[in-house]
Structure 1
Amino acid sequence: MKLSSHTRPLALAFALSLISIGAQAAAPFQLDYIGQQIVPTGTQFAGTTVGGLSSIDYVSASGRYIAISDDRSAFNPARFYELSLDLNAFTRSATPGMAGVGFTGVTTLLDTTGLPFATNQVDPEGMRYDATRNQLYWSNEGQRSGAGFQNPTVRAANIDGSHVRDFAVPARYNPVGSNSGLAAGDSGVYNNLAFENLAISTDGNTLYAATENALAQDSLPATAFNGSRSRIVSFDIDSGAAGAEFIYDVSPVVFAPNPANGFATNGLTDFIVVGDRQFITIERSFSLGTPANGIPATGNTIRLFYADARNATDVSSFDSIAGQTITAVSKTLLLDLSDLKNDDGSTLSLDNIEGLTFGPAFNGKQTLILASDNNFGATQFTQLIALEVTAVPEPETYAMLLAGLGLIGMAARRRLN
């Protein structure tokens, strides 16, 4: 597999100017269901078990995608896949199969010594390809548990998976204190709620990472009774230095678990940039329980938001925001995927959606592609969903915004040869 860089079209600058128009307004575009495909758990490719797809990124020149697996080198060494998707084969069916989904490559991620990661020494989650610099960026959640503490990381890698450098993650993200993160004086990320995602700015100079939930010193994790104050942190790509940080308020868990002490979570699982400090975000809520209590059969509720950080407070000077008066990132619901229906009228069954990318044009419209992490579970599945981006009729500036999105989709997609 070979990746090569390309020059961003000058049209990108024009697209960015369109993005700024009317972007404060609610829901500037709508998302419609094209169809889905499902890769069964246990699928094998090139001697590896396909699963745990926690991010997806489209590469326009080849029409292929890259997707990182969050396998902690338990099934196979930590890795990412290359795959192809034929959107013409996607269908609004409860049993779509996996026609049109093809895995075409797999690459092992290497540690700082040039070796594959040992078991439980890494938790890969987010990945983006930088065409300008011909590099990959990927995030590692780290660990906070009785098995040990590991700091979360954001790293640059060559396309062969070899390590290039680490970005300078501020020390306040490192887990300190108790295993739970709930004791007085605890700080840093909660276990399994750290850097789940990455996004590259439209000008290609800034990398964003976001925690799935708050830092321990900022707020509690999300429950059915409270949300959680996640942080978005920016990095200068050339220097690797951390910059501005913003608070993104993750919503409470959608459905209370049953029993009441059952597992439940909601988190910011991925995001993509649509303008200057503007994003489309995924919040994935999961509740243990039964459909009779309102909980979906899979336990998952997936919602997409338009998020705007332009007026948000830069909290990079605060190791803790407790007691501080700040303005958080604003957000507007774009789509609750629970509202989507298949052609037979059945509700779209949703797995653990954790990946999001702009896809290719389809029927003349911009697309979004979502991917699920099946946790390598027998009752879960690797789900790929295609959505169509459509302009909201009013006001006029929304159509201009959509045109800008289309240009950004063309200009900022990654290139793979």
Structure 2
Amino acid sequence: MLMRIIPLAATALAISFSAAAPLHASGDSINFGLSYIGHQIVPNKTRFNGTTVGGLSSLDYNPATGRYLTISDDRSKTGPARFYELSLDLSQFQSSAVPGMAGVIFHTVTTIQQVDGGAFEKHSVDPEGMRFDSARNKIYWCDEGQRSVSGFRSPAVREMNSDGSHSREFSVPSYYAPRGSNIGILPGDNGIYNNLAFESLAISVDGATLYTATENGLVQDSPPATILTGSRSRILSFDIASGKSGAEYIYYIEPVAFVTATLGGFATNGLSDFIVIGDRQFITVERSFALDAVIPGGASTGFTIRLYYADARDATDVSGMESLARQSIRPVRKTLLVDLSQVKNKDGSALALGNIEGITLGPRFNGKNTIVLVADDNFNKHQLTQFIALEINSD
């Protein structure tokens, strides 16, 4: 489902749309714009308390402390599975090609523990999304799972205490579990694709519902996104009180934004994170990557990051439907908010984008609300640990 692209100015990302539940307001419409404040980049292989800072795959702001939580998707490889608490001073963010990391301060690192205690063993977990529930003083996080020659592991959504100890596990429907071949394209294969499962978490405005989503469709629902076709991701809800799964909605992932420089090169697009802004209404992040792609008007990192407004209020509830093949489904409605690959810094340089995998509503800045993004560098010296700040200009 191709959505309209909204033209962008050099440093102002102006958008306007209507919906029934406004962003942190009351009334019958949402009208706001997003302006680029700046970004900061943490140098590759930065060390903190005996760990390598990298793989940052989520971001959640806690207004009570003025600090953020971010999870590392290190699969207990360079260090134990973990999350960090940090501060971001948005006044020090730079709109330039070489921003530095002023105002980015890491305060603590906490090891995520297994059910019976102790750190996860190497390659036994893939932490991705994380949210802090201030009302319950709990942290929710998801394990993407695995489908590969190294073995199968079902995706999971878990709750932990602030010290990283396990609290409980949410009930994920059985049809998300990988079954069949390790490549996921043979008849009878079901469940998640490898590295395309639970990447995100979001909490409803009333605090009663937790959401996660697959990065692409389940094997039985649709193939992964390509340059020609998108994919049918599932948004899955949970009742936080009981831990039971609830309604599910189909969210169409766009095709890969640009072709790779070489035939057969790696390319992907997926739903990497989202936040709730109203009743079953979200701002989603679609992260597209094409190996060595040159993006017209943008920096050549290969990443294209697009933020969408997504409305699931009229979408079909597909909970309990193991397969969506040949089913008539009303998907989540989408409107493109901004294509960050078209943004330029004040010095005229294109904003070099990292692998954006986290989004949060941030603090007030210059009297306005903000959105803050984080990029996962995959522990790769050619990628970025990056924070990007956007200002919300409300009517």
TM-score (norm 2): 0.92
Change (3 A) 1:343 1:213: same
The answer to whether the 8 A contact 1:16-1:276 is kept is no
- Look up the match of 1:152: 155
TM superposition shift of 1:19 = 5.4
- Look up the match of 1:274: 277
Cα separation, 1, equivalents of 2:298 and 2:64: 41
Corresponding residue SS for 1:285: strand
TM superposition shift of 1:168 = 0.2
Cα separation, 2, equivalents of 1:17 and 1:292: 34
Residue 222 of structure 1, aligned match among 208, 221, 225? 225
Identity of aligned residues (%): 61
The answer to whether the 8 A contact 2:292-2:301 is kept is no
Cα separation, 2, equivalents of 1:187 and 1:296: 38
Cα separation, 2, equivalents of 1:57 and 1:227: 28
Q: Show structure 1 runs of 5+ residues with no match.
A: 1-13, 392-398, 400-417
Cα separation, 2, equivalents of 1:155 and 1:387: 30
Letter in 2 for 1:97: G
Backbone CA RMSD of aligned residues: 1.5
TM superposition shift of 1:260 = 2.4
Change (3 A) 1:114 1:273: same
Cα separation, 1, equivalents of 2:23 and 2:256: 34
Q: Equivalent residues in 2 for 1:314-393 (5 A)?
A: 314-391=317-394
Residue 65 of structure 2, aligned match among 46, 62, 67? 62
Corresponding position: 1:288 with 2:291 = yes
Corresponding position: 1:21 with 2:24 = no
Q: Equivalent residues in 2 for 1:11-410 (5 A)?
A: 18=25, 21-22=28-29, 28-291=31-294, 296-391=299-394, 399=395
Cα deviation 1:174-205 (Å, max 9, x = unaligned): 00111111111111010001000000000000
Change (3 A) 1:339 1:265: same
Cα separation, 2, equivalents of 1:295 and 1:216: 33
Change (3 A) 1:167 1:269: same
TM superposition shift of 1:296 = 4.7
Which of the pair has the greater relative contact order for Cα pairs under 8 Å at 6+ separation?
Answer: 1
TM superposition shift of 1:294 = 8.3
How many residue pairs were aligned?
375
Moved over 6 A (4+): 14-17, 292-295
TM superposition shift of 1:320 = 0.7
Cα separation, 2, equivalents of 1:19 and 1:326: 30
Q: Show structure 2 runs of 5+ residues with no match.
A: 1-20
The answer to whether the 8 A contact 1:20-1:275 is kept is no
Corresponding residue SS for 1:291: coil
Letter in 2 for 1:43: T
TM superposition shift of 1:18 = 4.5
The answer to whether the 8 A contact 2:215-2:271 is kept is yes
The answer to whether the 8 A contact 1:258-1:293 is kept is no
Change (3 A) 1:15 1:226: closer
